[in-house]
Structure 1
Amino acid sequence: MRAEEPASSTEPATSTEQASGGASAPEPAGRGGRVRLGTGSDQYYDRLVRVAYLVMADATEPAGGAARRAGDDRIAQAHRMVRRSLPWQRPDEAAYLWLLARVVRRAANPPRFTLSLPGRWGRPVPDGAAPQRDRLLAALATLPTPVRTGYVLVVVERLPPRDAIQVLHEAGWPDPVLQVAAGVAEQQRLADAESISPARQRELLTGPITDPMTVRLRPPDYRTLRLVKLGRVATVAACVAATVAVTAVLAPRMAGFPPEPSDPTAPAGEPDTVGIRRVGDRAWLGAARPTLASWPTRGGRVDDTGLVDAALGSWLAVAELTGRDPAARAAAYGQPDPDDPDSTAGGGVAVPTRAGVVTAYAGRGIALAAPAGAAQLLYAGELAGAGADPPAEVAVLADATRVAVYASSGGTRSLRIEAAPAANPYAASAIRVTGSAGPARYLMAPWVRRVDHRVLAGGQWRELVVRDGLTDPVSPADPDPPPGCWSGPLLRVHPTDVPAGVPFTLADLGPAVLSRLTYLPPDADPGDAPADADDAGGARVWSGLGCLAGELAGHAPESILAWEVWSGTLPGGDDEIRLTCLRAELARDASLVAVALLVPGRPARAVATAADTRLCSPLAPVVALGWWWESPTGDWHHVAVGGGPVAELEVTIEGRRTRGTGILVSPAYPDGPRGPVQLRATDGAGRSVPVLD
């Protein structure tokens, strides 16, 4: 801390401003901005401390004089957090957003108990805006921590929303876009509710009273002096005791006993179960929404600190190695090393840990950082009968955005880090705890009362036995499927009352998180509530979509909707043909769309694709589709159909224009497709309709 100094701004000036004498506060470094350690870290230290101070605000803090003392403690704690967040060993430069994410991660999970002296050496400088400031801080303290953090980053730190989203994502929070949007909206809500304008809000939160760097020094009270004197005596006594203890430990070694062997490649930090969060059996009954955070800790080895520490230590070691080695990071993602022409994709990365070498894998786009806060222990036990000989020891950990599955069998250790399921009752009902090869076993949510399984091609549902939350092994639906195709298994989940006790279907496409399958018939549009994939005609349509679903598997979709846009016959055949729009919802609001043509006796093929689009969703329920069709006689026809309320279609081929409704089929082209095709479509009001072709 520093004593109070007269200054025109409580924010540090950049090096350029210091040279030119500018007094305006700098904006934070953007995504590409970098600062040198020793200059940049110091330059932004004030702001990092203020962010930690505001993020740690808690609605449970006391009032009155106790609140003032709690605020003093929070200032000291904010300084400690920032000092611990500054890197020790790192290249000469570090991004400001990277430092900010580390501070936010610590401030969002402050230690529950801290030691504070009864007398303090400094207190924030008071000002004349105490009533407004107190109302504002009290209102912020009632917000959820992610929303409050989004507010602080955008309103106080003036980060662009995209950078604030990046910070929240790197700090490990789910739905960072929603959290930042809620934080921005909170600025106007506070202006309306507290009559404090947005500009005044920032002024109050950056003034001297909320600047943790500006304090007024004062003498300590007598209790503090007494403690200091007693502390000197205690320090001398502790030194004497430590000397005796060290001598007792080292004496045998000095007498000729060799030292214990050590592994020089192991990480310096050794985790312990203090960094693990366990959840009680009935916690989910009081949860506001179904998420992994309310899953109980289960398994026969939950008290095995060796297994749990090995799992946590592996996660920390992977984060440390991949954070400083780009080649290791690429290998964890299954990408070949660009600097090694002999490297191949999909091999994982070997990471030395205290438990031994662990082969680590990460899903596409998954952050490889250490757990955000205390990692939650979901399961620890043995998986017998799952293709492992001897049985595998497994520990499943999770934080807010990721699931890490650690397995050890016969001296071989692995760690898979994948995306955590979305916060909805479908995705958060099951996770796969075994690898993608061999029999699968699933850890089920506590609200699941029964699980059935079958293959994609149909057949009867068979009940799965569940013990302590873990299912019996499920063999692959097809041990030798066509390349790139998927044949199951499917899980039919019967919940107790989430959501409303209605069964739903999940597909195991390989990742830890399963994908929900739904269906819409031809007379519906994407704005309607979808049916389950096992209802009505959904099972018949989905049974032919295995190869296209297999192409989506690598993207770890959270859900896939099969909207049957059209069915009927086409020239040259009598079989009923189905046109289905597959929409896969991915993490972070991404999406993939593939229009599947299902012809009896032929594998399904995609006739149109799109990425990150609204098409085939409730936001764009009207769509037109066009493709070339080769009839059984060898002739080619261009086919155009409209889904939803498409009123008119217009197709132009080689200057020849055709209009119609429902479906338009061109004359035969014996020699194959001819040139480009222009397809236009309008709805009943004459508005243009998007086209997938």
Structure 2
Amino acid sequence: MPLQPSPLRNFGPGAHLGVKETEAALVEHYPRLVRLAYLTLPPGLGRHRRVLAAHASVQRALHGKARPAPGQGGEGIPAPRSGVRAGDGTNTPAYAAVRLRVVRSALAYGRRPRWWPGRMPAPAVLRPSMPVVRGLRLFPRAGGMDEFTLDRALADVPAAVRAALGLRLLESLSADSTGALLAGAGVADPAGAVRAAAQVEGSDHERVRRMLRSDEFDPCTVQTRPGDLLRRRHRVRAGASALALLVVAGSLALSVGTDTDGAPSVVSAPRGTMPGGALDLAGLVRTPPEQWADTSRVDFSAWPSRGGRADDRELLARALGTWAAPGPDVAVTSTPGTAVVPPSQPPQLLFAGSLGGEGVVLFHDGGVRVVRYAEPLSAEGSPVLDFARADDSDVTTAAALAVSRTGASTRYLLAPWVTVAATRDLLAPGTPARALDVDGDGITAAVPRPEEGGGCLSWPAMQLRSSEKIVEKHAFLVTDLGDLAPVHLTHTPAPGAGAPARQPREATSTEALAGWARTACSLGDLRHSGVRAVNNWQFAVQPLPGTRSTADWVCTRADTWRGPGRVLVQFVPPAASPSARAEVVADRRNTALCSRFGQHVVAGTHWRSPAGSWYVLAAGSRAVERIEVTGSVRGASDGPVLAVRAPRGAAFRVDAELRDGGTMSSVR
């Protein structure tokens, strides 16, 4: 395993610390420094490259000049707060200087030069280099589901926020010291990064601290696996084939001169896939039919190859060739954040068959994408190539893929672990689900699509049940939002008195179906946006003034495959119809609100009572202990709900105090 250290860089002028002092601090605290670097580095590097980059950032910190940390009240790098143990060696100038270099180096991986276009990532030549490990892939040991979810949430925040979180929770620095260190590392808004980090950690600091100290974020305790051996073999074979092709082309170029008109002769090669490459038919991955029932990874990788044309080499060759180089007549679509480049390794064949007047092929490229190729069976029409994200799929989000679509319906290929399929209308919660026909290949009959545009008279969904062979025998709901994979729908009930916080559960109960009947029409705004799952969180129940009725406050959170989420806060008053549409009072994009890492929410709206009086209503989640309304109407209430008489359309602002002493404003 050759390890080639990257070039060392000098991180700026300053007093030069002794090399022995610096080395001693680095070696003594190497694991904690590498963990800090790993947390700060961009998750987009991938776990293998992120591990190597973390070690490179720390080892690079041994070289160059840096200011030693001054005493309390001095300028420059702040000393650790008093909470750090005095005898552990982390309060020395040498350690403070090394830590600053590590943070600065880790931040540099995600930083672009000022002259580089803002929407384009900096090319590799402009980023710090890292060690190279050939033949092995390195991964930190997997933590639990909480650690995995935290890692996904941290992928949505800037590197400076991740660094601030590490300095606060791993290094136990105060907010002021963290801001000063970030400023010394070149962060433009250190105070903003510290505030954003506080929002990520929320009120349960110790729980997040424990997660950050788990194996999930430890790049010193790693697992090793070989690289893609087949891919390496294919690269060697492809290289040999390319070399042979170059030799032949060179020979032809030497033997063929110019013609009688003086125009150069052109030797054209037929278009096709290169033998031994990622798009070679012989390399297509075909999963055994029963593997899904005997694996711990229940996702698209466990799907067997199905369909009546799974052995049609001509169809598969056209599909792979179009994926490699789509022609001008090919309609290419992709969900946001999905790359449309050819695969880097042989893809997995999921389905190949004829359906709805088309020849259809479904591929899975090994963990990141699913791809659908369709060509018309008649001479009319053009091929279609659809790309969608599929990383980190599971029993529910890998339960189906759209195979054929018309304007009014969709036919799906179901996962092999789905044993029962039915359809239901979310706007008719009292109507039982109706059985859905499925053929021997797992293709469903036509499932109605939710209407696009106009009214929202119905909202079709599929109710699926998984097999007991995977110890996941349960029913769940999915619905079509226009992407290849349908969206998983869940429900979080209202908080119980004195009960712990509820967790999302399947939206098949009577309560969940009643909630989705009032909010399903809001899903129309989420079409074609790469949504993975949507959860309805009933975060408050509010008594309505002048009545004996209550209203529900619901936070509808849509999580996308690429990470960022969107939140709709909806007010659900009593209504004569069980499907009367709720009122959307707030819409926030790219937020952690209403997720595991955004557990507090407060919102407000206007409401007219049956007697004709107007009110400002406000409500917050279970941790809200006081609400105050200011503006043209004023009022306050101890507790998570508030109602204040107000003129119609009165301007107002809602603020809340939390049990842990924090404050927050209403979602807008």
TM-score bucket of the superposed structures, by smaller chain: 0.5 to 0.7
Q: 2:470 aligns with which of 485, 489, 498?
A: 498
1:571 Cα offset (Å): 4.9
User: Is structure 2 residue 375 aligned with structure 1 residue 405?
Assistant: no
Q: 1:551 aligns with which of 499, 505, 525?
A: 525
Distance 1:467 1:432 in 2: 15
1:631 Cα offset (Å): 4.4
CA contact (8 A) 2:425 2:458 kept: no
The residue that corresponds to 2:653 in the other structure is 677
CA contact (8 A) 1:358 1:414 kept: yes
Distance 1:464 1:660 in 2: 51
Distance 2:269 2:407 in 1: 32
Q: Name the SS of the counterpart of 2:293 in structure 1.
A: helix
Q: Name the SS of the counterpart of 2:663 in structure 1.
A: coil
TM-score by length of 1: 0.56
1:633 Cα offset (Å): 6.0
The residue that corresponds to 1:608 in the other structure is 586
More deviation, 272-281/542-551: 272-281
CA gap of 1:457–1:263, structure 2 versus 1, over 3 A, is farther
Distance 2:217 2:553 in 1: 42
The residue that corresponds to 1:230 in the other structure is none
CA gap of 1:307–1:572, structure 2 versus 1, over 3 A, is farther
CA gap of 1:296–1:366, structure 2 versus 1, over 3 A, is same
Give deviations 1:476-530, integer Å, cap 9, x for gaps. Answer: 2566763588712333233334353122222222211122111122235994232
Paired residues, number = 453
User: Is structure 2 residue 428 aligned with structure 1 residue 454?
Assistant: no
Sequence identity of aligned pairs in percent? 25
Map 1:524-603; keep pairs closer than 5 Å. Answer: 524=496, 527-568=501-542, 570-571=544-545, 576-599=550-573, 600=575, 602-603=580-581
Map 1:215-226; keep pairs closer than 5 Å. Answer: none
CA gap of 1:477–1:555, structure 2 versus 1, over 3 A, is closer
The residue that corresponds to 2:304 in the other structure is 296
Give deviations 1:267-291, integer Å, cap 9, x for gaps. Answer: 8979541342222112223422212
User: Is structure 2 residue 130 aligned with structure 1 residue 97?
Assistant: no
Map 1:417-496; keep pairs closer than 5 Å. Answer: 417-420=387-390, 422-435=392-405, 437-458=407-428, 459-476=431-448, 482=454, 487-496=459-468
Distance 2:133 2:137 in 1: 13
The residue that corresponds to 1:287 in the other structure is 295
Q: Name the SS of the counterpart of 1:549 in structure 2.
A: helix
Q: 1:189 aligns with which of 205, 221, 225?
A: 221
Larger Rg: 1
Map 1:202-241; keep pairs closer than 5 Å. Answer: none
Distance 2:642 2:310 in 1: 63
CA gap of 1:144–1:464, structure 2 versus 1, over 3 A, is farther
Which amino acid counterpart does residue 647 of structure 1 have in structure 2?
E
Distance 1:185 1:618 in 2: 18
Give deviations 1:46-67, integer Å, cap 9, x for gaps. Answer: xxxx99xx99xxxxxxxxxxxx
Give deviations 1:448-474, integer Å, cap 9, x for gaps. Answer: 222121222232212222224433322
Distance 1:398 1:95 in 2: 29
Distance 1:393 1:508 in 2: 22
Distance 1:162 1:498 in 2: 38
User: Is structure 2 residue 360 aligned with structure 1 residue 394?
Assistant: yes
Q: Name the SS of the counterpart of 1:360 in structure 2.
A: strand
More deviation, 596-605/530-539: 596-605
Which amino acid counterpart does residue 421 of structure 2 have in structure 1?
V
Distance 1:477 1:526 in 2: 38
User: Is structure 2 residue 332 aligned with structure 1 residue 310?
Assistant: no
Distance 1:366 1:526 in 2: 38
CA gap of 1:305–1:589, structure 2 versus 1, over 3 A, is same
CA gap of 1:308–1:653, structure 2 versus 1, over 3 A, is same
Give deviations 1:329-349, integer Å, cap 9, x for gaps. Answer: xxxxxxxxxxxxxxxxxxxxx
Distance 2:656 2:126 in 1: 51
Distance 1:286 1:99 in 2: 45
The residue that corresponds to 1:523 in the other structure is 495
1:577 Cα offset (Å): 3.2
Which amino acid counterpart does residue 331 of structure 2 have in structure 1?
T
Which amino acid counterpart does residue 422 of structure 1 have in structure 2?
D
CA gap of 1:637–1:655, structure 2 versus 1, over 3 A, is closer
User: Is structure 2 residue 626 aligned with structure 1 residue 638?
Assistant: no
CA contact (8 A) 1:527 1:619 kept: no
User: Is structure 2 residue 663 aligned with structure 1 residue 688?
Assistant: yes
Which amino acid counterpart does residue 408 of structure 1 have in structure 2?
E
Structure 2: runs of 5+ lacking an equivalent = 10-47, 54-119, 144-157, 163-211, 225-243, 256-266
Which amino acid counterpart does residue 470 of structure 1 have in structure 2?
G
CA contact (8 A) 1:485 1:546 kept: no
Give deviations 1:540-567, integer Å, cap 9, x for gaps. Answer: 1101212211112332321111112234
Which amino acid counterpart does residue 619 of structure 2 have in structure 1?
V
CA contact (8 A) 2:422 2:436 kept: yes
1:378 Cα offset (Å): 0.4
Q: Name the SS of the counterpart of 2:392 in structure 1.
A: coil
1:317 Cα offset (Å): 1.1
CA contact (8 A) 2:553 2:619 kept: no
Which amino acid counterpart does residue 518 of structure 2 have in structure 1?
G
TM-score by length of 2: 0.58
Structure 1: runs of 5+ lacking an equivalent = 1-8, 15-49, 56-92, 111-139, 148-160, 166-179, 195-234, 248-260, 319-350
Distance 2:409 2:269 in 1: 35
Distance 1:656 1:637 in 2: 11
Distance 1:13 1:522 in 2: 55
1:623 Cα offset (Å): 2.5
1:420 Cα offset (Å): 1.6
* CA-based RMSD: 4.9
Distance 1:597 1:537 in 2: 16
Map 1:33-52; keep pairs closer than 5 Å. Answer: none
CA gap of 1:300–1:489, structure 2 versus 1, over 3 A, is same
Distance 1:377 1:443 in 2: 13
More deviation, 601-610/569-578: 569-578
Distance 2:122 2:272 in 1: 24
Distance 2:288 2:582 in 1: 47
CA contact (8 A) 1:566 1:641 kept: yes
